[in-house]
């Protein structure tokens, strides 16, 4: 389909984008790989598109001491291939490399993926499991929102209509050496039917702390709290039993890809696989 009529402005800086966003019914355009399909289906009909896709100051990966700082306009391909991300946050580079196909990864941005708030997206789950923070600039200045408070509902986030997500800050994994992201999809370029992200801190055979999060098991990316509680202080041998709790407190959708029950089963199986892989690293 053809999108409804809209105006187009290109912003060359964050300040300019903020000013343009002040206009009625304006929407940011980053990589366009989620927004443009919605516009073609007429599920989104903004009056003005503010193109931030060429703002150089928002595309970077920086070492920020205990954290990595990633600009919101960093493309999936660059997240997947950046040496700093590969060294300090390999679960993120791995997951970014699983998104869509090369075309999608060369256009889509980490900020667009987070701001879009699609529970089937891979990076929000990984950023949730890592306790990332999101830097947001809006009419009232800059705020920082933890991932646990950012995803509010289906395609709904803490971002207001005049806010710009500028930076994603991620704690370096350090002692959290064991990690895995398991994605189940029918075709290589598809979104996850279900995905599971896990990072573990362990001391020999004991799991000291575990963080587990789920893709496409509810209206937002979810922490698998029952699994995390079952694993804390447990032995590696208990991982399979803990994985059986993966679908506790979830409300997976039923759609043409999978029924809710099938997704529940997938969540349990993928969590077991994720824990096994994380424990093997
Ligand atoms: P856009 O489409 O430009 O924007 C998306 C939304 O976010 C819009 O509402 C926009 O206004 C807003 N926005 C963008 N940037 C900002 C910002 N900095 N601050 C505030 N708001 C902002 N994703 C996956 O996770 N896994 C997949 O397997 C996958 N497969 C795909 C396959 C195909 C064929 C396609 C087309 C897409 C796929 N995607 C997948 C989605 C892809 O990752 C998108 O690139 C991403 O979801 C959105 O990023 P974008 O930069 O394209 O955002």
> pLDDT per residue over 203-225, tens digit each?
877 899 999 999 999 999 999 99
Cα of 232 vs centre of ligand 1, distance in Å, is 34
CA-CA distances (angstroms) from residue 181 to 19, 97, 184? 39, 11, 10
For residue 268, what is the domain's CATH number? 3.30.390.50
Cα of 29 vs centre of ligand 1, distance in Å, is 9
Q: Is the CB of 28 under 6 A from ligand 1?
A: yes
Per-residue pLDDT tens digits for 8-63: 999 999 999 999 999 989 999 999 999 999 999 999 999 999 999 999 999 999 99
- Segment 227-232 long-range contacts (CB within 8 Å, at least 24 positions apart): 227/271, 231/200, 231/207, 231/275, 232/207, 232/208
Rounded Cα distance, 199 and 240, in Å: 15
Quick one: 143 and 230 in the same domain? no
For residue 46, what is the domain's CATH number? 3.30.43.10
Quick one: 166 and 69 in the same domain? yes
User: Which pLDDT belongs to residue 205?
Assistant: 78
User: Which pLDDT belongs to residue 236?
Assistant: 86
User: Which pLDDT belongs to residue 141?
Assistant: 95
SS3 194: strand
Rounded Cα distance, 124 and 155, in Å: 12
SS3 18: helix
Q: Which residue has the tokens 């920082």?
A: 144
For residue 103, what is the domain's CATH number? 3.30.465.10
Asked if 126 and 49 count as a contact pair (C-beta separation under 8 A), the reply is: no
Largest Cα–Cα separation, the chain: 61
Ligand 1 atom closest to Cα of residue 136: 19
Percentage of the chain surpassing pLDDT 70?
100
Q: How many domains does the chain have?
A: 3
Range of the domain at 186: 178-280
Ligand 1 atom closest to Cα of residue 28: 11
Q: Which of 211, 203, 249 is nearest to 229 (CA)?
A: 211
Quick one: 31 and 69 in the same domain? no
Mean pLDDT of 118-145: 97
Query: Whose CA is closest to atom 1 on ligand 1?
Result: 32
User: Which pLDDT belongs to residue 256?
Assistant: 93
Cα of 76 vs centre of ligand 1, distance in Å, is 10
Domain assignment present for 2: no
Residue 136 has pLDDT above 90, yes or no: yes
CA-CA distances (angstroms) from residue 104 to 144, 145, 185, 278? 28, 27, 16, 28
For 211, residues 6+ apart whose C-beta sits below 8 A from its C-beta are 129, 130, 131, 176, 198, 199, 200, 223, 228
User: Which pLDDT belongs to residue 97?
Assistant: 98
Q: Is the CB of 77 under 6 A from ligand 1?
A: no
Domain assignment present for 1: no
Per-residue pLDDT tens digits for 169-195: 999 998 788 999 999 999 988 999 999
Quick one: 42 and 76 in the same domain? no
Per-residue pLDDT tens digits for 82-130: 999 999 999 999 999 999 999 999 999 999 999 999 999 999 999 999 9
Q: Is the CB of 202 under 6 A from ligand 1?
A: no
Quick one: 86 and 163 in the same domain? yes
178-184 vs 133-138, strand pairing mode: unpaired
User: Which pLDDT belongs to residue 74?
Assistant: 98
User: Which pLDDT belongs to residue 188?
Assistant: 85
């Amino acid at each position: 389909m053809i999108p409804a009529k809209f105006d187009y402005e290109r912003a060359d800086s964050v300040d300019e984008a903020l000013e343009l966003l002040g206009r009625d019914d304006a929407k940011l355009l980053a990589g366009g790989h989620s927004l443009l399909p919605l516009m073609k289906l007429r599920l989104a009909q903004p009056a003005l598109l503010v193109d931030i896709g060429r703002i150089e100051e928002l595309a970077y990966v920086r070492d920020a001491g205990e954290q990595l700082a990633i600009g919101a306009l960093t493309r999936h391909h660059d997240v997947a291939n950046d040496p700093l991300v590969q060294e300090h946050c390999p679960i993120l580079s791995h997951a970014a490399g699983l998104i869509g196909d090369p075309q999608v990864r060369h256009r889509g941005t980490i900020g667009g993926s987070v701001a879009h708030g699609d529970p089937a997206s891979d990076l929000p789950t990984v950023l949730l499991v890592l306790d990332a923070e999101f830097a947001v600039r809006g009419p009232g200045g800059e705020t920082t929102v933890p991932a646990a408070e950012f995803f509010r509902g289906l395609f709904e986030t803490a971002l207001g209509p005049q806010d710009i997500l500028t930076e994603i800050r991620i704690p370096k994994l350090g002692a959290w050496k064991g990690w895995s992201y398991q994605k189940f999809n029918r075709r290589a370029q598809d979104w996850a039917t279900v995905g599971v992200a896990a990072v573990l801190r362990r001391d020999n055979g004991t799991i000291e702390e575990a963080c587990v999060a789920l893709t496409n098991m509810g209206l937002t990316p979810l922490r698998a709290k029952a699994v995390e509680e079952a694993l804390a202080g447990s032995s590696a041998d208990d991982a399979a039993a803990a994985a059986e709790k993966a679908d506790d407190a979830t409300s997976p959708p039923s759609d043409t890809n999978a029924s809710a029950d099938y997704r529940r089963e997938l969540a349990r199986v993928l969590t077991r696989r994720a824990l096994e892989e994380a424990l093997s690293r």
